[in-house]
Each structure stands twice: as structure tokens, then as C-alpha cells.
């Protein structure tokens, strides 16, 4: 309860008291029991009630979120040029009155859904795109009254600024902005650009009429049933195309895997062949070096071949029969030790005949 309400209440009570006092004094006089100084009492009571009424009519309290426009019969224009600021203010009783306007943020909503906006029922904005498609726009406009232009707003629009200013300006600006884009741009690629254009145009229009534009909210975009069906078919076709592209990509991936596997097998076969060839080359080089060493040893020791030949004979062999013309007879026990080198073979010489054998033979 503010001071203005308190004075209004006191003024009402004062008038009630004044009426009751007047009634009592008159009743006493009718009973031939006049009240001393009754007229004076009635005058004082009525004077107090009048003073309180004047004070309550002249004192005004403006809330922090409001500004007051003073309608005055004393001014040539019919109003004060300056709005009342928040707090207590004084106006001429019964010659002036105050109309408060909120300067806090307000929202005006236009929606296709009943009960969401200021207008009951479908209040969406029907617009045409540059390619002739019909769209339905749900939008909200967040604005406030410019505190420095409250008086001008009152003179031009009074309390009709929301329905007669905000609503038509917003709908007209949205229709003009939508007409600059194709339908796919409106709901996809250039939606933010559309919001920016609408915000700029509404800001200029509101500023000229004493309003401050804070934000334009593009709530929803709806299409005609025919276009919605075509969009759905297009989306289905795009999904099928994406699925086909995915299948092709998968097949290409599988082909790449098979190709990579074949290349791997080929490289492995090449490496294996190269390894075998290199192994044979190393083996051949080793054999060549071995033969060179063998030839060198044979050239230094010709009897080495006989030694190697004897090494291949069975170990249990003790006697070797040689042809009659062979001049050598080997003692095989001498070759049991492989570290010994074959010595010069001994020549077998038959023993000389004794005298007895000679005589017997002679006989």
C-alpha cells in the first residue's frame, strides 16, 4: 500500500465521519436537544474531509517500472510535455489526472496455436516466398516503451500501441522479409539472415513511434500440406540416395581391402622368391668357397683324395683287395684317427726264399 492509497482511504473515512456527525447533530436538533456549536463541528469535519480529498486527488505515486502522463486541463495541449518519473508527485486536484505506462519489457506473440498469443485462435502470419510458396510464421516480439517518448506514444497511440502498432508493423515487416528468400532458404540456410532483417526493420519502425525493439523470436515455420508432402518425399529420396552412396562406398572399401590383400600376397610372394634366390646365391657362394678350399688343400696334399675315399668305407672293413698291378697296400688301422694325415705308403716286398725252399723246389 503506497501513500496515494493511504490518503484516498483517509479521505473516504473522513467523508463517512462527516456524514455521520452531520446526521447525529441534525437528529439531536430534531429532538429539541441541540448540540452546542453543532454547525462549527459539521464545518470542521467537512473541511477535514475536503482537505483529505484534495490531498488524495493531488498526490500521485509512480512505480519504478512505470512512467506517468499527466492529462491537464490547465495546459493548452491538454497534457504536460514531460512524463512523471518514479516516486511521489503532485498534480492539480480535479484539474489533472495521470495515466501510467509500463516501461518494462513486453512480449507480443502471434501463434498458430490457440491461446498462445494475444489473439485467440490462429494468429500466425501468412507470407509468400520469392518462389511463390506459402509459409505460416509463428513469432514473438519483445519490446518496451521508450521512457523519453511516453508522452508522444500516448498522444499517438494511447493504450492501443500493442494491437494497433506492434501487431501490424510486425506482420508487415515479416511478410516483406520473407518475400526476399526462397522457401528452402527461409527454413534452412538463411533463417538467421531472415531474423536479422526483420529485427532491423522493426527496430527502425518502433523507434519512430516511441518503442524500443529488444528481440524478434522466430518461433516456428509451417508450410502448406502440398509442400510439406513434397519436402517429405524429397527427404526420403535424399535418404535413399545417401543409403545407395553408403553401399557404393562400402563396396569400394571392400574392393580396396581385396586389392590390398592381393598386393600383400604378391609382395609376400616376391619377398619369398627373393629370399629363396638369395639363399641359393649364398649357398652357391658357400659351395664355391668350399670347392676353392678343397682344391687348395688337394693341390697342397694330393693324398687327401685317398684319405677322403677311405673315410667313405665302412668302419668295420680291415682288408682291401687291390688289383694285382696295384703297388700299394694300406693298413686301415692307421686311418682310424682322422687327425692323422695319410703317410707315405709302404711298398710291400715279398720275403726271400730260404735254402730249404730252394732245394725243394729244385727237386
How far apart, in Å, are the Cα atoms of 180 and each of 131, 133, 177, 230? 9, 12, 6, 22
Query: Above pLDDT 70, what percent of the chain?
Result: 80
pLDDT, tens digit (0-9, with 9 covering 90-100), for 198-243: 999 999 999 999 999 999 999 998 887 777 666 667 766 777 777 7
Whole-number Å distance between alpha carbons of 78 and 92: 13
For 130-149, letters b (16+ CB in 10 Å) and e give eeebebebbbbbebbbbeeb
Q: What is the DSSP string of 89-149?
A: EE--TTTEEEEEEE-S-EEEEE-SSTTTSSSSS--PEEEE-TTS-EEEEEEEEEEEE-GGG
- pLDDT of 170 reads 94
Q: What is the DSSP string of 261-307?
A: HHHHHHHHHHHHHHHHHHHHHHHHHHHHHHHHHHHHHHHH-TTHHHH
pLDDT at 341 over 50: no
Q: What is the mean pLDDT of residues 86-96?
A: 89
pLDDT, tens digit (0-9, with 9 covering 90-100), for 139-188: 999 999 999 999 999 999 999 999 999 999 999 999 999 999 988 888 88
pLDDT, tens digit (0-9, with 9 covering 90-100), for 33-54: 777 777 788 888 888 888 888 8
- pLDDT of 145 reads 96
pLDDT at 355 over 50: no
pLDDT, tens digit (0-9, with 9 covering 90-100), for 253-285: 888 888 888 888 888 888 888 888 888 888 888
- Name, in order, each residue with C-beta under 8 angstroms of 166's C-beta and a sequence gap of 6 or more: 108, 141, 143, 206, 211
* Coarse DSSP helix, strand, coil percentages of the chain, rounded to the nearest 5 percent: 55, 15, 30
Among candidates 101, 64, 81, 106, which has minimal Cα distance to 212? 106
- pLDDT of 203 reads 94
Helices (H) and strands (E) in the chain, counts: 10, 8
Q: What is the DSSP string of 317-348?
A: -------TT--B---GGGGSSTTSPPPPPPBP
Residue 57: which pLDDT band, with cuts at 50, 70 and 90?
A: confident
Amino acid at each position: 500500500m503506497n501513500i496515494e492509497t493511504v490518503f484516498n482511504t483517509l479521505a473516504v473515512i473522513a467523508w463517512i465521519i462527516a456524514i455521520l456527525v452531520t446526521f447525529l447533530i441534525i437528529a439531536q436538533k430534531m429532538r429539541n436537544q441541540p448540540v452546542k456549536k453543532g454547525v462549527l463541528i459539521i464545518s470542521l469535519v467537512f473541511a477535514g474531509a475536503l482537505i483529505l480529498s484534495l490531498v488524495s486527488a493531488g498526490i500521485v505515486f509512480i512505480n519504478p517500472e512505470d512512467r506517468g502522463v499527466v492529462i491537464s486541463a490547465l495546459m493548452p495541449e491538454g497534457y504536460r510535455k514531460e512524463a512523471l518519473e518514479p516516486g511521489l508527485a503532485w498534480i492539480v486536484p480535479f484539474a489533472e489526472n495521470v495515466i501510467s505506462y509500463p516501461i518494462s519489457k513486453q512480449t507480443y506473440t502471434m501463434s498458430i496455436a490457440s491461446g498462445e498469443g494475444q489473439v485467440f485462435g490462429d494468429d500466425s502470419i501468412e507470407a509468400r516466398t520469392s518462389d511463390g510458396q506459402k509459409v505460416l510464421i509463428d513469432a514473438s516480439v519483445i519490446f518496451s516503451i521508450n521512457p523519453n517518448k511516453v508522452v508522444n506514444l500516448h498522444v499517438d497511440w494511447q493504450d492501443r500501441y500493442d494491437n494497433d502498432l506492434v501487431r501490424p508493423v510486425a506482420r508487415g515487416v515479416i511478410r516483406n522479409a520473407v518475400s526476399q528468400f526462397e522457401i528452402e532458404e527461409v527454413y534452412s540456410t538463411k533463417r538467421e539472415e531472415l531474423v536479422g532483417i526483420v529485427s532491423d526493420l522493426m527496430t527502425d519502425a518502433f523507434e519512430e513511434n516511441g518503442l524500443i525493439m529488444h528481440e524478434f523470436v522466430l518461433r516456428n515455420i509451417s508450410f502448406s500440406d502440398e509442400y510439406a508432402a513434397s519436402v517429405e518425399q524429397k527427404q526420403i529420396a535424399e535418404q535413399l540416395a545417401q543409403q545407395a552412396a553408403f553401399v557404393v562406398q562400402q563396396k569400394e572399401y571392400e574392393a580396396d581391402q581385396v586389392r590390398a590383400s592381393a598386393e600383400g600376397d604378391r609382395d609376400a610372394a616376391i619377398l619369398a622368391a627373393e629370399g629363396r634366390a638369395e639363399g641359393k646365391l649364398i649357398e652357391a657362394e658357400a659351395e664355391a668357397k668350399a670347392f676353392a678350399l678343397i682344391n687348395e688343400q688337394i693341390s697342397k696334399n694330393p693324398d687327401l683324395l685317398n684319405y677322403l675315399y677311405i673315410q667313405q668305407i665302412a668302419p668295420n672293413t680291415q682288408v682291401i683287395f687291390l688289383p694285382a698291378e696295384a703297388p700299394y697296400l694300406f693298413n686301415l688301422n692307421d686311418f682310424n684317427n682322422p687327425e692323422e694325415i695319410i703317410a707315405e705308403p709302404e711298398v710291400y716286398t715279398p720275403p726271400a726264399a730260404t735254402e730249404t725252399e730252394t732245394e725243394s723246389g729244385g727237386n
